[in-house]
Structure 1
Amino acid sequence: MPSPLGEFLILRRSRVQPADVGLRSNGRRRVPGLRREEVARLADVSVDYYMRLEQGREASPSPQVAAAIGTALLLDEHALAHLYRLAGLTPPRTVPTAAAVDPQLAAFLNEWPDHPAFVLGQAFDVLAANPLAEALFLGFGPTGNLLESMFLDPAAAVLYRDWETVAASMVASFRLLEAAQPREPRIAEVRGRLLAADARFAEMWTGAEVRGGRLRSKRFRHPEAGDLELHLQAFDVRAAPGQELVVYRAEPGSASNAALKVLQAARCP
């Protein structure tokens, strides 16, 4: 049975076409993407060794071999870092993310009344938010988890004008989070609930996308404020490893800025 590393290699191999890596395709192929022997040749490892990696009979490649396989599979920096984590080449983060927000940071959020801002904790739980963020994101759904609200709250499909793109980006970031903390029960709980409850999440999860960071901007269709396009920045909270501060802003003088002010006046007196 393939290990998580083997499953990742199989999925990523299926996405690379021979022409992508300068190989000729000789006729019809039974499976999409590269053959195992082609990856092995490109990575300069034996076919038997690469097959053992995919089958889960070998799980500890050297950093040099992992890097060579990553190059053969055209992995970007985030996917390569994920491969390293799955291969046990980078230590997972063992300190749990704090479940409470520092009072000074919470006060700081409220001192930004013109910008939606919130703090994410373990597994994309929203730990604190200022009133404008609560209004923009409709309370973050019934569970207060950003990922769960994306898939389980019907309002999200309307709120995000580019729902498919935003959802795929969030799932890819969550996969990276899981690789860094493979034994974190809260992450496993959220993943398991979504796999059982939503076929769209399951499809995106099995796609094995891995991506650090988030989209630089998002488009909303808010039931009270109308259409908005907001830019965002995310910052690690250094005093609480694992927490993340996310801040949204509209371009000054734009229609989105005017819409945000409408929302602020209606919901944040």
Structure 2
Amino acid sequence: MDDLAGFLRTRRSRVDPAAVGIPVDSRRRVEGLRREEVAHLSGVSVDYYVRLEQGRATQPSEQVIDALARVLGLDETERGHLYRLGRQCRRPVKAPGGRIRPELLRLLDLVVGAPALIVDHRLDVLAGNRLAGLLYGRPLPGLNTARHIFLGETEDGLYAEWEKCTLDVVGHLRLSAGKYPDDPRLASLIGELAMGSERFRRLWARADVRARTHGRKVYRHPLVGALELHQENFALPDESGRELVVLSAAPGSPAEDGLRLLAGLGADGGAARPAARPAVQSTVQARVRD
């Protein structure tokens, strides 16, 4: 799904030669740095670096990875991704699975004023509270947010900043592919998205990685309108690859009023829901993973 050679090639093509002290003239036809330039700047032999990009050299040392990350100008997320790709052959990581702990489900029940979800590294929604179900307007079991964004939504759908959401999703899946390269279900999802979405194919080819831990998220709900929320992602202890995601509204904001209205509409048994959307279960819903 992801490999060290491909990541090095895409990062190399994005480095401005002038920024690392290499003169550029009109005769230059290479986008970014040449292989030999990366090798020289990072202090490794040209032959070794070529073998890295061709997939013929594996398990580079930490010193080599540090040097490559510096030359390629990688940020913290990209640097961590490069380390994982370099360690894949040494320590294969098994994709997490299993049931959601009952204590986590009780925790979701306690979050009543904000949508709250538990998602895994594939962006499968494993559990969600009542307000999360009302926000998405559908039962949560079976929902994969990557599939929802690329195959089930349009630019004028639930996600008000759809293009930005697609960047975040692809960056997250790239990170997951680096952490769990042998996960067949993740590989199947990526293949499905690539087959069904031209935008996904273009973004995936860029090999960007993103770690979304917090930030602004705007939804366009068909019943209550725009909801500008703040997303916080909390990595769950002892649950590798799983996160608790909470979407909160600023006190006194229109979004807070919107969430309150949404919760009230859902309390009437569903009469106010659009007919085109499936019924939403009113209790915490959990999906069992093998």
What is the TM-score with the length of structure 1 in the denominator? 0.92
- Give the corresponding residue for 2:43: 44
User: What's the offset of the Cα at 1:122?
Assistant: 4.5
Structure 1 position 127, deviation (Å)? 0.7
The residue that corresponds to 1:116 in the other structure is 115
Which stretch of structure 1 is more off in the superposition, 35-44 or 214-223? 214-223
The answer to which of 30-39 and 67-76 deviates more is 30-39
Q: Which residue is equivalent to 1:252?
A: 251
Structure 1 residue 31: Cα displacement: 2.5
Match of 1:93 in 2: 93
Q: Any idea what the Cα deviations from partners look like across 1:12-37, whole Å, max 9, x if unmatched?
A: 11111112223221324222111112
Q: Is the 8 A contact 2:213 2:234 kept in 1?
A: no
Contact persistence 1:98–1:243 (CA under 8 A): no
Query: What is the alpha-carbon distance in structure 2 between the residues aligned to residue 30 and residue 190 of structure 1?
Result: 36
**Corresponding residue SS for 1:123:** coil
Taking the aligned partners of 1:10 and 1:108, their CA distance within structure 2 comes to 44
| TM-fit CA distance, 1:157 | 4.7
- Structure 2 residue identity aligned to 1:240: E
- CA 1:140–1:21 in 2, change beyond 3 Å: closer, same or farther? farther
Partner of 2:208: 209
Deviations 1:176-231 (A, max 9, x none): 11111111122111111111111111111111111223451111111111011100
Using the TM superposition, give the Cα deviation of residue 250 of structure 1 relative to its aligned residue in structure 2, in angstroms: 0.3
Deviation at 1:72, TM superposition (A): 0.6
| Unpaired stretches in structure 2, ≥5 consecutive residues | 269-290
How many Å separate the matches in 1 of 2:3 and 2:93?
Answer: 18
Matched, 1:224 2:223: yes
* CA distance 1:163–1:142, shift in 2 (3 Å): farther
Partner of 2:189: 190
Work out the CA distance in 1 between the residues paired with 2:194 and 2:259.
34
**Aligned CA distance change for structure 1 residues 120 and 142 (closer, same or farther; 3 Å):** closer
Task: Measure the CA separation in 1 of the matches of 2:25 and 2:81.
Answer: 32
Q: 2:288 corresponds to which residue?
A: none
**Aligned pair in 2 of structure 1 residues 110, 141: CA closer, same or farther (>3 Å)?**
closer
Shift, 1:8, TM fit: 0.8
In structure 2, the CA distance between the partners of 1:268 and 1:145, relative to structure 1 (3 Å rule), is farther
Q: SS in structure 2 opposite 1:139?
A: coil
Aligned equivalents of 1:194 and 1:157: distance in 2?
19
**Which structure shows the bigger proportion of residues in helix conformation?**
1
Query: How far is the alpha carbon of 1:155 from its aligned partner?
Result: 5.3
Rate the CA distance shift 1:232–1:6 in 2: closer, same or farther, 3 A.
Answer: same
CA contact (8 A) 1:85 1:92 kept: no
2:271 is aligned with 1:262: no
RMSD, matched Cα: 2.0
Percent identical among aligned pairs is 41
| One-letter code aligned to 2:228 | E
Kindly provide the CA deviation profile for residues 133-172 of structure 1, in whole angstroms up to 9, marking residues without a partner as x. Answer: 1111233789411111110112575211111111111211
Q: 1:67-86 alignment to 2 at 5 Å?
A: 67-86=66-85
Q: Aligned partners of 2:247, 2:168: CA distance in 1, in Å?
A: 17
**1:150 aligns to what?**
149
Distance across 1 between alignment mates of 2:193 and 2:54: 27
Asked if 1 retains the 8 angstrom alpha-carbon contact of 2:220 and 2:227, the reply is: yes
**Shift, 1:121, TM fit:** 2.4
Given that 1:122 and 1:242 are in contact with CA atoms closer than 8 Å, whether structure 2 keeps it comes out as yes
Higher deviation after alignment, 184-193 or 16-25: 16-25
1:242 CA drift (Å): 2.3
Contact 2:125 2:142 (C-alpha < 8 Å) held by counterparts:
no
Give the TM-score normalised by the residue count of structure 2.
0.85
AA at the equivalent of 1:185: P
Q: Return the letter of the residue paired with 1:66.
A: I
Structure 1 spans left out of the alignment, 5+ residues = none
Task: Describe the shift of the 1:91–1:156 C-alpha distance in structure 2 as closer, same or farther (beyond 3 A).
Answer: farther
Over 3 Å counting, the alpha-carbon distance change for 1:117 and 1:63 in structure 2 is same
